[in-house]
Amino acid sequence: MNTTFLYRRLATFAAIAGVLLGIGLPVSLLAADFPPLNAPATHESHPGKFVWAELFTADAAAAAKFYSGVFGWTAVTLEQHGVAYTVLSNGAHPVAGLRQRGPAASPRASRWINYIAVADLTTALALVTKAGGEIRAPAREFPQLGSQAIFTDKEGSPVGLVQSASGDSAEDEPAPGAWNWFHLFVKDPLAAADFYRQIFSYEVAPDGRIGKGSELLLSSGSFNRGGVSALPDRAEAKPGWLGVIRVASLDETLARVASLGGEVVVAPHEAALGSRFAIIADPTGGSVGVVEYVNHANPINQP
């Protein structure tokens, strides 16, 4: 995708290390009956694959209404000891969770944190520390779901780790309404790519798609997992990950955004190999990319 358009709002919506303060995983949720990521269990393991996402928000109800309306996701809110956690599902498959921020963190804009699958969380966290990252939320166990943790990389971008109790999702092409791509914007792409390589054993190579030679691809198991690009040389640009959701019709999706109180922050435009891309923000401040792929342009399938 043409990343020039992303830079205009990157400073507002990208990751910064300080935003993690106050979003640690609530202890009172540890015994909540979370659904497994895959039912029935897959017994598959795909370390390095992005498999989960969480939105930390000051208004989980408003965010759930927005994402359900825009993407057709269903929302189920779990509650224990007065603390709520909303699970969003695409059809029968859980795709994301919404965490209500506490009063101290509420003034901050909402933000998404994307989770990468690991085979062993303890080993992965040790690799994070060795590579120069910082553990921001230590490993926690969630019944049925598995184990989770959050770290920041060397440029301060937050990332989640998850060791699923039900295995990882199959290596199928994501359907509309599913997370499809994840892109990291950093000051030093080569150093950042090497950081993630040390943790997830990614293969790192230039993006061979038309006009993408300056970007890097992170791949594992013969699948591209995400991309890495350089930030523009501007003081306000900050590093961070952007998750991208696949949609069947970009125009129809964007038409629902405004009616549900959201905003199109990067206008739809053509991207690599005939795909179309935009960035939207929910009413609470969280942002995601949306993409409509045509002519088999999905980057996860590119060699």
Instruction: Let me know: does 167 contact 45? Beta carbons within 8 Å.
Output: yes
With a cut of 50, say whether residue 212 has pLDDT above it: yes
Which regions of the chain carry the CATH code 3.10.180.10?
Answer: 4-14+173-301, 17-164
User: Where are the strands (E) in 2-73, listed by range?
Assistant: 50-57
Assess whether pLDDT exceeds 60 at residue 15: no
> Does the structure show a pLDDT above 80 at 106?
no
Task: State yes or no: pLDDT of 157 exceeds 80.
Answer: yes
Instruction: Say if residue 49's pLDDT is above 80.
Output: yes
Q: Which of 246, 249, 257, 243 is nearest to 67 (CA)?
A: 257
Strands 146-152, 93-100: pairing is unpaired
The Cα 154–Cα 192 span in angstroms is 8
Domain 4-14+173-301 has CATH 3.10.180.10: yes
pLDDT at 83 (0 to 100): 74
| 223-236 pLDDT tens trace | 999 999 998 777 77
pLDDT at 192 over 80: yes
Burial of 296 per CB tally in 10 Å (0-12, 13-18, 19+) = exposed
Which pLDDT value is given to residue 296?
54
| CATH (residue range 17-164) | 3.10.180.10
Q: Indicate whether 202 pLDDT > 50.
A: yes
DSSP state of 25: P
Distance of CA 241 to the CA centre of its chain: 7
| Residue 17: pLDDT over 50 | no
CB neighbour class for 137 (10 Å; exposed up to 12, middle 13-18, buried from 19): middle
The predicted pLDDT at position 4 comes to 39
Cα atoms in the 13 Å half-sphere on the side-chain side of 108:
22
> Averaged over 179-208, what is the pLDDT?
95
Q: What is the DSSP letter of 20?
A: G
pLDDT for residue 10: 37
- pTM greater than 0.75 (yes/no): yes
**Position 43 confidence tier, pLDDT thresholds 50, 70, 90:** confident
CA-to-CA distance for 185 and 157, rounded, in angstroms?
9
Q: How far is CA 262 from CA 86, 121, 186, in A?
A: 19, 36, 27
